[in-house]
Structure 1
Amino acid sequence: MDERVLYGKGLLTKDDIYLFREGRHYRLYEKMGSHIMEVDGVRGTHFAVWAPNAASISVSGDFNGWDTESHPLAPRWDESGIWEGFIPGVDRGALYKYHIKSSVNGYVVDKGDPFAFTWELPPNTASVVWDLDYGWNDSGWMGQRGEKNGLASPMSVYEMHLGSWRRVPEEGARPLSYQELAEQLPGYLNEMGFTHVEFLPVMEHPFYGSWGYQSLGYFAPTSRYGSPQDFMRLIDALHESGIGVLLDWVPSHFPTDEHGLGYFDGTHLYEHEDPRQGFHPDWQSDIYNYGRNEVRSFLISSGIFWLDKFHADGLRVDAVASMLYLDYSRNEGEWIPNRFGGRENIEAIEFLRIMNEAVYKEFPDTQTMAEESTAWPQVSRPTYLGGLGFGMKWNMGWMHDTLAYFSMDPIHRKYHQGQLTFSIWYAFNENFVLPLSHDEVVHGKGSLLGKMPGDSWQKFANLRLLLGYMWAHPGKKLLFMGGEFGQGLEWNHDSSLSWDQLQYDNHRGVKRWMEDLNRFYQSEPALYAKDFSQDGFAWVDFHDSEQSIVIFMRKDGEGRTVLVALNGTPVPRSNYRVGVPSAGYWREVLNSDSTEYGGAGWGNLGGVESKPVPSHDFFDSISLTLPPLGIVFFRKD
């Protein structure tokens, strides 16, 4: 192999450097990191790394026996802080690190490549020279995904952790690979009727137990399950099956592992220097310096990367609240006010707005979603109106109130009906996603089924009622894996879901209920077309707290109406009169107490004919049987 390093042969142009330093370069992954190329007819790899406070940088790897002196990089002439060089003979699969000596304090360290496309299998820490060549087969999906991802379209999201969905017991209970998931997951999601899947962060992370939320490789899917092309194949297979793919993305913090971004060139390059701004006390991780233009270019390039190179259909942005507030999870004296004396992180707010503008400019047919747990206004409103620019926001208030209500013994629910109905008063302030996520089924919180009160029958009935209420409520839906069949144990990332429970009727009943809910949901525009408009919802009666009954309508704005009635007690209610907006036959289209779902079979014999008896401010009404701990959906023929 030719041992020379060639300089001045890189990919970065004067315009690239200008945009990078302005914080407006959104495709740095095309220029930075390691790229296989030919120079003067010689194949090799070009390396480029940002380290403005380095005295020297060299590339060591398996191609040079990890020699830290033989292949030095050179700083660019433009004072950008970027070091680069072309090494002939280095090709796909080569392991490497950057050996950095700081000019500030003599600090010496071996760092992974912030722009690497793949890494060694953890706990090993080297970056790997790779390419992203792949022949996509999802042109059909890509041509129509703007409609599939639209605010007026059905969105039923299956949230999952790749390493613990299914495992292979015959091989030491290993997780499935990307390729095995590509064979099994699309069919299952179609069987269940989900429209999208959301993966907990796939970005490379050193600690498996962080579930990916301690991301380190912002341009690399974890090598635990295969190569970047294997992950592309998984997304491709999902798209070919009509399933959208959302990715969790974590621009809020990063782990302190030595080979990562922290203290990169002997200075706090990516993170704030002052721990009151640069260190997260909850997660023991570093916080990005959003006021630094180069850091903004890095992060926005990462978000764009997954939409561009991996055809992701959206990004769910983790821990937005921790970014917005300087005093997040900090006591007095442990944070620094902004320049106006306030607690808002002005630089992070600007970053989020620019990031969302960039995403929707480059990929207007995708979505960004914020996990934001406070009452910050206009999270999902356009930046030109003063919003943060997200497409949607997780409704954490709905989640907390709803789980509190359903965890309660039904005898007490009449005193807490407001927890079930209050969410409607703010349901249209944002474009909300209703999340029953992984966070609700770990750390001793128990599974969704385990939260439900009562004996076994009541637990399953309550779970079916909870899911039915969620699918009837305005907002897009997100359910963590295992909830769709009522897994009994809380989630454990080190083991598979409890698929063996599907041998029991009650669990199969929940699964069948989830399938039918999703299918009806997708087929009925009244349940999704006006999710974010008051025109799509109308109360019939929310005052009957004594019997824990709630009745409302969903509407599509085109004349279609679905009537929903739920009974939060284990007592069936017969001859319950409900006003309806028009006379005729109201067909019972879904009933969570049906025997095929494991219920007792209370219902309305397929439907009821209205009578000209005034009720609930309507001229006509129907007399219903409301099943115990059940929910029923009606649609007029």
Structure 2
Amino acid sequence: MNSVKTYTLFTEHDIYLFKEGKHYRLFEKFGAHSVEKSGIHGIYFSVWAPNAKKVSVVGNFNKWNSKDHILYPRWDESGIWEGFIEDLTWGTLYKYAIETAHGEILEKSDPYALSWEQNIQAASLVSTNWYEWNDQEWIENRWKKNTTEAPISVYELHLGSWKRRNNELHSFLNYRDIATELIPYIKNMGFTHVEFMPVMEYPYDPSWGYQITGFYAATSRFGSPQDLMFLIDELHKNNIGVILDWVPSHFPGDANGLHRFDGSCLYEHEDPRKGFHPDWKSYIFNYGRNEVKSFLISNAMFWLDRYHADGLRVDAVTSMLHLDYSRNEGEWEPNIFGGNVNLEAKTFLEEFNTAVYKEFGNSIITIAEESSDFPMLTKPVHDGGVGFGMKWMMGWMHDTLGYFKEDFGNRKYHHHKLTFASMYMYNENYMMPLSHDEVVHGKASLIYKMIGDEWQKFANLRTLYVYMYTHPGAKLLFMGDEFGQTSEWNFTKSLDWHLLDYPVHKGLQNLVKDLNYIYREESAFYENQFQKEGFEWIEADDLENSVYVYLRKGKRRDDVLMIVLNLLPEVIDYKIGVNAGTHWEVIFNSDDIKYAGSGVEPDVFKEQYEEYMRHPKSISLKLPPLAGVILRQTKDRKYKNHRNQFRK
């Protein structure tokens, strides 16, 4: 006798929206929900498996027997199976036993489960994501933190390897322990946001979380859903935003996951030219299937709503948008117009951005990891764009790291690698990423990408950071880069925090801390960071000296900063053209002794009222070696040393 009772959470309108690809809160319907039927408490289960012959719930409550608890197919041909099982409660382990059209029995974990076991064939857990939040003030005001006119400095981290307990394998800190350690550090360092590499459930540690099986489940490696919510809550209470990596691009072929979910290509595209990723050996979502679009956009809504995420960084957008991504000629099929754009994926991304911004307004932000020159990614959908809030500036990253690898004698031949970004930096809303991808797989840590002896390496990296923080756009730095992690990132162990016992590493950390504060304090760095009015080159072509001079401008006419970069290891006296009536004071010097620099003082020592660099007046500045200097425009000649004002 079947022990499952009939029950439903779906209305006809729910089914209509689901089939149209317009249901964006499926997590309120699908999965396992605690309900009451005729005064009896139990769990309602529902799952989408349109090509199944039979679906039953198996678990530790019925000895994993597929004959006892058979779900009922809905009458409306939606492909949904559902039912109510009495007396089940939180913590029950379960899967769906799905009999395919060919008689094969597949045991699948629940795509909408809120918790999973932590093992390779993980079962789902009946769970809840109820949590009493205490971040109302942050939520009400976070639009001020995510606007394009606000400073956005992101610290990217992998929860499993930022810090570990005794640095042992799998000795992960709990989300709550991480909160205790992380929040004081972020506040002290001055970052405005953190970005967590994927926190969704994944079976394989070396995937770093990018091969997701439980799209609605916080990974149990670090605790419960409520533990993760506590971490986010505490970050918000301390005025720190939270961006989550989100992976709607692909999923692994694990037997308990989405692959061949009901024996058919249900979530993945059935054509392997569109449905299989040759690099990652994973499966690509079928973006043309409405029910899949509802699943994915609901998933985005889920993390923004239930977990109070302030933004989603969308992984691998380039692979989603291009039919020929990592494919040779003949291995992909052009779209109906003969091009290589995946039109279904583009439409999905437009609908995703439209939906989340409609729901949350500008209080959240979506960020595309996209490495091609795909047009109008961060332009509104109603203007023909894809609708993202920002895009990673991958071209800037490649050019910048390429330049800093060059020998000093060769830099003049590569001078314009550092100016080229100004040709396109206002085409999109850019975030400059020095991310985890740049410090793995034999690429070397950032400090060992730099040229020269130890002092020169650190001086180079300090100046690179000055260039990054003073360049238009939001900022992103991967954990460990702020203090000069010497080894490549290793996801199996903690960062090398002991390096901070050495002055050069502590000095670099002090520099990043001060750059975060100056970025947040000086409105000229962020008010117009996505507007052409916010930037002006003074000297972009001094190849022989490897010197760069540019201005950053705020909304007020007198809110102007000058940045001077000396990319050779020698002190020079440098003449710079400025406007009449302006005076300048040094407020930051990356060669300061507190940053483990040589201590050369870059004071302004001469003003001349003669035309220079197309300006009516000039100043002369002593430039420290391999250093970045920031000057503020002042109204009088009283030069005060403000270089320590940003230290808290």
Question: For the superposition of Structure 1 and Structure 2, which TM-score range results when normalised by the shorter chain?
Answer: over 0.9
From 484, 493, 496, give the equivalent of 1:495.
493
From 611, 632, 637, give the equivalent of 2:629.
632
How many Å separate the matches in 1 of 2:605 and 2:304?
Answer: 49
1:195-214 correspondence to structure 2 within 5 Å: 195-214=192-211
Q: Is the 8 A contact 2:121 2:255 kept in 1?
A: no
Find the counterpart in structure 1 of residue 97 from structure 2.
99
Find the counterpart in structure 1 of residue 570 from structure 2.
571
Measured after TM superposition, the shift of residue 107 of structure 1 is 2.4
Measured after TM superposition, the shift of residue 342 of structure 1 is 2.0
Find the counterpart in structure 1 of residue 237 from structure 2.
240
Q: Equivalent pairs: percent with the same residue?
A: 54
Q: Is the 8 A contact 2:195 2:242 kept in 1?
A: yes
Find the counterpart in structure 2 of residue 406 from structure 1.
404
How many Å separate the matches in 1 of 2:259 and 2:2?
Answer: 31
Q: Is the 8 A contact 2:3 2:70 kept in 1?
A: no
Find the counterpart in structure 2 of residue 35 from structure 1.
33
Superposed CA deviations along residues 50-104 of structure 1, whole A, max 9, x for unmatched, are 000000000001111111111110101111000000111111111100000012x
Measured after TM superposition, the shift of residue 123 of structure 1 is 2.8
State which drifts further: 164-173 or 470-479. 164-173
1:1-12 correspondence to structure 2 within 5 Å: 4-7=3-6, 9-12=7-10
Q: Does 1:292 align with 2:289?
A: yes
From 110, 123, 128, give the equivalent of 1:126.
123
Q: Is the 8 A contact 1:95 1:128 kept in 2?
A: yes
Find the counterpart in structure 2 of residue 561 from structure 1.
560
Amino acid at match of 2:572: R
SS at match of 1:341: coil
Q: Is the 8 A contact 2:2 2:70 kept in 1?
A: no
1:82-481 correspondence to structure 2 within 5 Å: 82-103=80-101, 105-169=102-166, 174-364=171-361, 365-481=363-479
Q: Is the 8 A contact 2:55 2:99 kept in 1?
A: yes
SS at match of 1:483: coil
Q: Is the 8 A contact 2:167 2:493 kept in 1?
A: no
How many Å separate the matches in 2 of 1:63 and 1:544?
Answer: 74
SS at match of 2:134: coil
Superposed CA deviations along residues 332-367 of structure 1, whole A, max 9, x for unmatched, are 111122222221111101000000000100011100
Amino acid at match of 1:537: F
How many Å separate the matches in 2 of 1:588 and 1:582?
Answer: 18
Q: Is the 8 A contact 1:324 1:345 kept in 2?
A: yes
With the length of structure 2 as denominator, give the TM-score of the two structures. 0.96
State which drifts further: 578-587 or 219-228. 578-587
Measured after TM superposition, the shift of residue 177 of structure 1 is 1.1
How many Å separate the matches in 2 of 1:464 and 1:122?
Answer: 43
Superposed CA deviations along residues 372-407 of structure 1, whole A, max 9, x for unmatched, are 110110000001111101011001000000000011
Amino acid at match of 2:289: R
From 504, 513, 516, give the equivalent of 1:515.
513
How many Å separate the matches in 2 of 1:170 and 1:468?
Answer: 32
Alignment RMSD? 1.3
SS at match of 2:110: coil
Amino acid at match of 1:438: H
How many Å separate the matches in 2 of 1:37 and 1:344?
Answer: 45
SS at match of 1:54: coil
Distance verdict in 2 for CA 1:293–1:553, change over 3 Å: same
Measured after TM superposition, the shift of residue 488 of structure 1 is 0.7
Measured after TM superposition, the shift of residue 614 of structure 1 is 2.4
How many Å separate the matches in 1 of 2:586 and 2:315?
Answer: 40
Distance verdict in 2 for CA 1:277–1:171, change over 3 Å: closer
How many Å separate the matches in 1 of 2:428 and 2:220?
Answer: 37
State which drifts further: 533-542 or 336-345. 336-345
How many Å separate the matches in 2 of 1:303 and 1:556?
Answer: 34
Measured after TM superposition, the shift of residue 615 of structure 1 is 1.7
Measured after TM superposition, the shift of residue 442 of structure 1 is 0.2
SS at match of 1:162: coil
Find the counterpart in structure 2 of residue 538 from structure 1.
536
Superposed CA deviations along residues 269-291 of structure 1, whole A, max 9, x for unmatched, are 00111211110000000001000
How many Å separate the matches in 2 of 1:509 and 1:267?
Answer: 57
How many Å separate the matches in 2 of 1:75 and 1:375?
Answer: 46
- Give the unaligned 5+ runs of structure 1: none
Superposed CA deviations along residues 196-221 of structure 1, whole A, max 9, x for unmatched, are 00011111111111011111111111
SS at match of 2:53: strand
Q: Is the 8 A contact 2:349 2:386 kept in 1?
A: yes
Superposed CA deviations along residues 282-323 of structure 1, whole A, max 9, x for unmatched, are 000000100000000000000110000000000000111111
How many Å separate the matches in 2 of 1:461 and 1:312?
Answer: 36
Measured after TM superposition, the shift of residue 457 of structure 1 is 0.2
Find the counterpart in structure 2 of residue 54 from structure 1.
52
Q: Is the 8 A contact 1:3 1:87 kept in 2?
A: no
Measured after TM superposition, the shift of residue 609 of structure 1 is 6.4
Measured after TM superposition, the shift of residue 478 of structure 1 is 0.4
Q: Is the 8 A contact 2:118 2:203 kept in 1?
A: no
Q: Is the 8 A contact 2:554 2:560 kept in 1?
A: yes
SS at match of 1:168: coil
Q: Is the 8 A contact 2:211 2:251 kept in 1?
A: yes
Distance verdict in 2 for CA 1:100–1:485, change over 3 Å: same
Measured after TM superposition, the shift of residue 584 of structure 1 is 4.6
Find the counterpart in structure 2 of residue 528 from structure 1.
526
Amino acid at match of 1:286: Y
Find the counterpart in structure 2 of residue 602 from structure 1.
600
Number of aligned pairs?
632
State which drifts further: 51-60 or 121-130. 121-130
Measured after TM superposition, the shift of residue 616 of structure 1 is 1.5
Amino acid at match of 1:508: K
How many Å separate the matches in 2 of 1:304 and 1:240?
Answer: 22
SS at match of 1:19: helix
Distance verdict in 2 for CA 1:334–1:92, change over 3 Å: same
Q: Is the 8 A contact 1:122 1:224 kept in 2?
A: no
Amino acid at match of 1:245: V
Amino acid at match of 2:566: N
SS at match of 1:485: coil
SS at match of 1:72: coil
How many Å separate the matches in 2 of 1:386 and 1:70?
Answer: 53
Measured after TM superposition, the shift of residue 608 of structure 1 is 5.2
From 611, 614, 629, give the equivalent of 1:614.
611
- Give the unaligned 5+ runs of structure 2: 635-648
Q: Is the 8 A contact 2:393 2:433 kept in 1?
A: yes
Measured after TM superposition, the shift of residue 38 of structure 1 is 1.3
Amino acid at match of 2:15: I
Q: Is the 8 A contact 1:585 1:608 kept in 2?
A: no
